[in-house]
Chains A and B, each alone.
Chain A
Amino acid sequence: GQQLNQSPQSMFIQEGEDVSMNCTSSSIFNTWLWYKQDPGEGPVLLIALYKAGELTSNGRLTAQFGTTRKDSFLNISASIPSDVGIYFCAGQLLIQGAQKLVFGQGTRLTINP
């Protein structure tokens, strides 16, 4: 089945630093998504990417859909305490009429004040 490899698994940074994480896959996806999950909550969509090569920003977040459609990265600039959480990439593909999401293992971000 499809698998996503997300790295790094965890990051410990100082407030104000930039953050970068990425996902790779052996499969092609038609959409890449980045979610953030806070403790006790479900994932919340941060950025959606629909076209190969697309670069999209949402405030301090920037994400790109790789040209091969098999990878994506997420950058967070000037990190702040509320950025703490687990970030998941997800590839979306159409299977039997459903937009099925395949998730990476997550990147846990910890910020030292």
Chain B
Amino acid sequence: GAGVSQSPSNKVTEKGKDVELRCDPISGHTALYWYRQSLGQGLEFLIYFQGNSAPDKSGLPSDRFSAERTGGSVSTLTIQRTQQEDSAVYLCASSLVSGRAGDTQYFGPGTRLTVL
């Protein structure tokens, strides 16, 4: 496939509902990253996967946020009991490997989440 794909492109939900955001990385990329971009701001690191494991979960804002990756490919970011401050664009990136200088992270188009 081409680049990193994410779905849905837009999600509007009501406060208190759970949402799932999906990321399909570039085929063959072992490292996968999730970022959050609030309006007019830079990107904030959330979590990264090397294969199916997530060694670094330090960026997750609260225990309402979780992520998993299966088969070393698709990843899902889940936000439980959404709050209005969760409204942002959630971006996924993948790279060939991780832990090596020079491994470029390629970004998907993002999912714009709006919590009413």
Contact = CB atoms under 8 A, between A and B. Distances in A.
Contacts of A97: 50, 55-56, 98-99
Interface string B25-54: 000000101010000111111001010000
Contacts of B91: 42-43
A40 interface: yes
Interface stretch (A55-63, A64-72, A101-109): A101-109
B77 interface: no
Interface residues of B, number: 30
A105 B56 contact: no
Contacts of A35: 107
Interface residues on A, range: 20 to 34
Interface stretch (A14-22, A75-83, A87-95): A87-95
A100 B41 CA distance: 18
- Most B-side CB within 10 Å, residue of A94, A101, A105: A101
Given A97-B98, A99-B95, A42 B104 contact: no
Contacts of A30: 101
B102 A31 contact: yes
B113 interface: no
A104 B95 CA distance: 20
Interface in B88-116: 91, 93, 95, 98-110
A93 B92 CA distance: 18
Nearest to B98: A98
B102 A48 contact: yes
